[in-house]
Amino acid sequence: MKTIKRGRGEILLERRPTKDFNLSNYGPCPYCLLWVAKALLKKHHKSCVGRDTGQNETIGTLVTHSDSISGRIQPIASERLIKETFSIMNKDEIGKVAQSDTFIIQLGNQWMEKNIGNKLKRGVYTSQIMRLCGRFLLNMRKLKPLKDHADLEKDAMWDYLKPMHFEYLVQAALLTCSPKLDKEENLSAPSNALKLGHDLKRMCNGKIGLAIIHDDKKSREQAADVLQLMQVYWVTRITKAVRVMLVARRDDVDKRLPDPEDIRDINRSLNAKIEALDLQHGRSNYRHVAQVLQAKLVLYNRRRSEELQAITLRDYSRRSRGVAGKLLVRNCTAFEKKLLENQEVMSIRGKHGRRVPVLIPKEVQPGLAYLTDTGVRTAAGIGESNPYLFASKKESIVWAYDSLNKAGEEASLKAPELITSTNLRKYMATMTQVLDLKSNEFEWVLNHLGHTMDVHKLHYRATSDILERTQNAKLLMLQYQGRIGEFQNQSLEEIQFEDVVQEDTEETDPDEGQVDTEEDSYLEEALDESQTFFSELEGKSRNPKASETGNNWSADEEEEIKALFKKFFDLKKRPTPADCLKAKKRSKRENGFIMKERRMY
């Protein structure tokens, strides 16, 4: 290690390189401390004399341990950051920069703490942020090499967080969004600029903190000035343009929802696979069972993929089974009691730590029992310390996105690319508009999906084309005709086709001279009958023949009409033809006076 610090001397290697020697490509074995090429560490580990029997590490873990021993990873890095982030990060130029710069490491520690509750993904999230900042630092070195350092690798983020370099900070942020940047309108990843803006502020605050600790007034003022410049110029130079670009691209995204027939077909396909599952053999069958059940639960529950794949054995063991709460069950319908008997429910961690439910239908329960069996997991090579229900080898998991994608491809769907967990959630949120849900029922839907009303309306619920072409079309037609005032205190569902087009059809007949269809004759007959009801009741019959014969309504008939159309008399509203036919059928069914008269035949 002293030789490395001095920068000169000899390093004893396991094998002498045949090409040019680069010290950064070599490191000590974590167990025997023999210097080996990093690319060969995994091969060396299998025969290493210092390795414990049965101990097996991934190449990423070995390289991370090697870099820690050789001092390439700063001491500021936490153990959790080294274990969960550095071990999975790509060992390219960007990864080396991210793992060697003090400020980027400090930022990584902050992100690990920020996502402390998400054990499954926090290492991945932190790696993405650190690599983004590493790419940004490399671009800064290209745009503005510092005169103080002949070696570009010594140009640290600390040196660039100064007011004099602000213009280069802006250019480097744009360059990080698109390596082949010609115009600002051509950013390939505009959201990266927004992320960099937040992370640069965090690093400036980190510089201020370190400057205060070391009583470095100049560095503290420089970092504070950069924050002030970002507050003044970053919004106009970066944020505004990026947000406009993101909104424009969002409009270009395919917003189609899954076809109902595709949802039906993939559900039938999964049910057939579940019935054919082999729950006897462990190692060769375990992953297939996990993928089928995972896809089924995502489809059935409309859960986010990342939520379902993170279900732990502890969550599963605490599931609710059988019937609980006899007082509540007593008021359930037969259908609801059947659902209680055939379904289990477990509570899992959702987004932002919120607990969300997962329903387990009866056909899935044997398969989940198979996946949690200790003997089966051992035979399938699942580590004892793996806490996840849908486990893969060692500490990994089966990814729900891949499971759902595979199920869609095998089901021969019209548009399998639309079968995603997000689209399924949007489909459910959109279809709830068709149902007349009460406020408490809608709250149940939101609690199941695991988001708030604002998120539901803004990000998930799309306007149904059926509602647009029916309910909203009624409102537009009434406005066009100037007849809104005629339908006061009525809902859109109460307004029918005949109400909107009736007056137009009385004035003009666009199909005059053509043979009436059965539906047209039906509506015309019903309309004539409804007009006859009220004209004769008011003594102002429009039918001359009826008035000449003196065939007036009897007292019993008038009372029956008042009873049948009481709602319309109270509202002073003319009944529709459909309402008249309903009254006719009701009178006939109840053997009323109206149906005894020949005028109704």
Q: Which residue has the tokens 């983020």?
A: 157
Range of the domain at 550: 518-600
Residue 523's pLDDT band, with cuts at 50, 70 and 90, is very low
Q: Which of 218, 252, 286 is the last residue of a domain?
A: 252
Residue 36 has pLDDT above 60, yes or no: yes
Residue 521 has pLDDT above 50, yes or no: no
- The more confident residue out of 50 and 36 is 36
For residue 361, what are the contacts with CB-CB under 8 A and spacing of at least 6?
Answer: 296, 300, 342, 343
Compute the 3-state secondary structure of the chain and give helix, strand, coil in percent, each to the nearest 5: 65, 5, 35
- The more confident residue out of 183 and 282 is 282
Count CA within 13 A, CB hemisphere, residue 41: 26
Residue 516 has pLDDT above 50, yes or no: no
In terms of domains, do 95 and 243 share one? yes
In a domain, 106, yes or no: yes
Residue 138 has pLDDT above 90, yes or no: yes
**One-letter identity of residue 121:** K
Task: Give pLDDT, residue 465.
Answer: 63
Task: Give pLDDT, residue 322.
Answer: 67
In the predicted model, what is the mean pLDDT of residues 150-160?
75
Give the whole-number percent of the chain exceeding pLDDT 70.
Answer: 77
**One-letter identity of residue 242:** V
How many domains does one find in the chain?
Answer: 4
In the predicted model, what is the mean pLDDT of residues 590-595?
75
> Which CA distances in Å does 350 have to 11, 432, 447, 456, 458?
51, 22, 11, 15, 19
Q: How far apart are CA 478 and CA 486, in angstroms?
A: 9
> Which CA distances in Å does 114 have to 109, 134, 200?
9, 20, 16
In terms of domains, do 417 and 485 share one? no
In a domain, 225, yes or no: yes
In a domain, 39, yes or no: yes
Q: 133, 132, 134, 162: which is closest to 148 by C-alpha?
A: 162
In terms of domains, do 39 and 173 share one? yes
Report for 13-17, 232-236, 582-586: range of highest mean pLDDT: 232-236
* CATH code: domain of residue 274: 3.90.15
Task: Give pLDDT, residue 371.
Answer: 92
- The more confident residue out of 489 and 56 is 489
In the predicted model, what is the mean pLDDT of residues 344-370?
90
Burial of 352 (0-12, 13-18, 19+ CB in 10 A): exposed
CA angle, 543 then 548 then 549, to 5°: 105
In terms of domains, do 305 and 375 share one? yes
DSSP codes, 258-296: PPHHHHHHHHHHHHHHHHT---S--TTTHHHHHHHHHHH
Q: Which of 252, 278, 309 is the last residue of a domain?
A: 252
Residue 361 in 3-state DSSP? strand
| DSSP conformation class of 389 | S
In a domain, 513, yes or no: no
In the predicted model, what is the mean pLDDT of residues 209-228?
87
In terms of domains, do 430 and 471 share one? no
Residue 548's pLDDT band, with cuts at 50, 70 and 90, is very low
In a domain, 11, yes or no: yes
Contact criterion met (CB below 8 Å) for 294 and 417:
no
Contact criterion met (CB below 8 Å) for 131 and 94:
yes
In terms of domains, do 308 and 247 share one? no
- The more confident residue out of 131 and 350 is 131
Residue 462's pLDDT band, with cuts at 50, 70 and 90, is low
Contact criterion met (CB below 8 Å) for 180 and 238:
no
> Which CA distances in Å does 314 have to 346, 364, 489?
10, 18, 54
**One-letter identity of residue 219:** S
Strand partners, 360: 344
Summarize pLDDT for 55-99 with one digit per residue, the tens: 666 776 677 667 767 766 665 888 889 888 998 898 889 999 999
In terms of domains, do 109 and 185 share one? yes
SS3 per residue for 20-44: CCCHHHEEECCCCCCEEEHHHHHHH
Residue 104 has pLDDT above 70, yes or no: yes
Q: 242, 239, 367: which is closest to 296 by C-alpha?
A: 367
Residue 10 has pLDDT above 80, yes or no: no
- For the chain, the average pLDDT equals 78
In terms of domains, do 191 and 224 share one? yes
In a domain, 512, yes or no: no
Task: Give pLDDT, residue 5.
Answer: 62
Q: How far apart are CA 161 and CA 224, in angstroms?
A: 10
In terms of domains, do 533 and 501 share one? no
In terms of domains, do 298 and 180 share one? no
Summarize pLDDT for 39-61 with one digit per residue, the tens: 888 888 888 887 766 566 677 66
In terms of domains, do 482 and 525 share one? no
Q: How far apart are CA 306 and CA 235, in angstroms?
A: 32
Residue 599 has pLDDT above 80, yes or no: no
Residue 515 has pLDDT above 90, yes or no: no
- The more confident residue out of 487 and 549 is 487
Residue 113's pLDDT band, with cuts at 50, 70 and 90, is confident
Q: How far apart are CA 62 and CA 51, in angstroms?
A: 12
DSSP codes, 464-503: PHHHHHHHHHHHHHHHHHT-GGGGTT--GGG--HHHHHHH
- The more confident residue out of 51 and 364 is 364
Task: Give pLDDT, residue 403.
Answer: 94
Summarize pLDDT for 291-320 with one digit per residue, the tens: 999 999 999 998 889 989 999 999 999 988
Strand partners, 155: none
Burial of 138 (0-12, 13-18, 19+ CB in 10 A): buried
Q: Which of 252, 271, 293 is the last residue of a domain?
A: 252
Summarize pLDDT for 123-137 with one digit per residue, the tens: 999 999 999 999 999
Q: Which stretch of 81-85, 96-100, 478-482, 539-543 has the lowest confidence by average pLDDT?
A: 539-543
In terms of domains, do 203 and 298 share one? no
In the predicted model, what is the mean pLDDT of residues 368-383?
89
